[in-house]
């Protein structure tokens, strides 16, 4: 399967614990995005990378959230000191990200569903 | 006002009927648009891209009206398998360095009734 993959698919944790999610984008894609989605809402942008550089961060991304893409391939999203309000689906997407129409199309992974108890 | 607005529905439509959704966007700098389909508890999957006035793919037609800042999606001869949430998405470049922003609507829920 050459699509976007995410691990784990589900995570249950207790409030106050740290969690880390991983995303492996489509191999030739330069850009990688993280979104959060709660029930009844569309995905909300968190942050994105062009290769290893983090270009944009949403105000939704509090200082408890950090994302990395150290070698410009896979990315990790870490949430420290989780709160119940962090419970959501965390989606990763990737795109070619060239300055050519059509390459901005984002393809999503299956998501990591987080439940904070 | 939200940057991308959709009627959340639900739309309950008999099989075989034609259904249309509208989506409005507030930022005139938005350059390209997408419709994604999302099944319950699954990831969004790209349905159509819209760059100029519209796009057609089989039973699906998307129209873009830049003057009125809305995008529509038309589904003809609807099938049971079309039941899903349809997300409208606007894309724009937000800096001279090529930083971009993709904004999703909340989605329109469609149920096709046998």
Q: Is the pLDDT of residue A1 over 60?
A: no
Six-digit token string for B85: 């949430």
Query: B7, exposed or middle or buried, with CB in 10 Å at 0-12, 13-18, 19+?
Result: middle
Say how far apart CA B114 and CA B111 lie, in whole Å. 10
Secondary structure E strands in chain A: 5-7, 10-13, 19-24, 31-37, 44-50, 53-57, 65-68, 75-79, 88-95, 107-108, 112-116
Chain A positions touching chain B (beta carbons under 8 Å): 33, 40-45, 48, 50, 55-56, 91, 99, 101-102, 104-111, 113
Six-digit token string for B55: 């796009």
CB contact (8 A) between residue B49 and residue A33: no
Task: Determine how β-strand A10-13 pairs with β-strand A112-116.
Answer: parallel
pLDDT tens digits, A23-63: 999 998 999 999 999 998 999 999 999 999 998 888 888 89
Per-residue pLDDT in tens (0 to 9) along chain B, 114 residues: 789 999 988 999 999 999 999 999 999 888 889 999 999 989 999 999 998 888 899 999 999 999 999 999 999 999 999 999 999 999 988 776 667 888 999 999 999 999
Nearest partner of A78 among A68, A88, A89, judged by Cα: A68
**pLDDT reported for residue B98:** 67
**B12: enclosing H helix or E strand:** strand B11-14
């Amino acid at each position: 399967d050459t699509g976007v993959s995410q691990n784990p698919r589900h995570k249950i944790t207790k409030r106050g614990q740290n969690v880390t999610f991983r995303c492996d984008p489509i191999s030739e894609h330069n850009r990688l995005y993280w979104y959060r989605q709660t029930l009844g809402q569309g995905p909300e942008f968190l942050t994105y990378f062009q290769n290893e550089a983090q270009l944009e961060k949403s105000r939704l991304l509090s200082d408890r959230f950090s994302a990395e893409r150290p070698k410009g391939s896979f990315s990790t999203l870490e949430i420290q000191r989780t709160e119940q309000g962090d419970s959501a689906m965390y989606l990763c997407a990737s795109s070619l990200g060239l300055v050519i129409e059509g390459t901005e199309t984002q393809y999503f992974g299956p998501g990591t569903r987080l439940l904070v108890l | 006002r939200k940057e991308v607005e959709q009627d959340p529905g639900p739309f309950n439509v008999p099989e075989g009927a034609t259904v249309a959704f509208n989506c409005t966007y507030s930022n005139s700098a938005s350059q390209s648009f997408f419709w994604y389909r999302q099944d319950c508890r699954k990831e969004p999957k790209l349905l159509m891209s819209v760059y100029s006035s519209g796009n057609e793919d089989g039973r699906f037609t998307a129209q873009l009206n830049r003057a009125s800042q809305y995008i529509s999606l038309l589904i003809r001869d609807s099938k049971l398998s079309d039941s899903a949430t349809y997300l409208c998405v606007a894309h724009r470049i937000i800096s001279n360095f090529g930083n971009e922003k993709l904004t999703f609507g909340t989605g329109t829920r469609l149920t096709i009734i046998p």
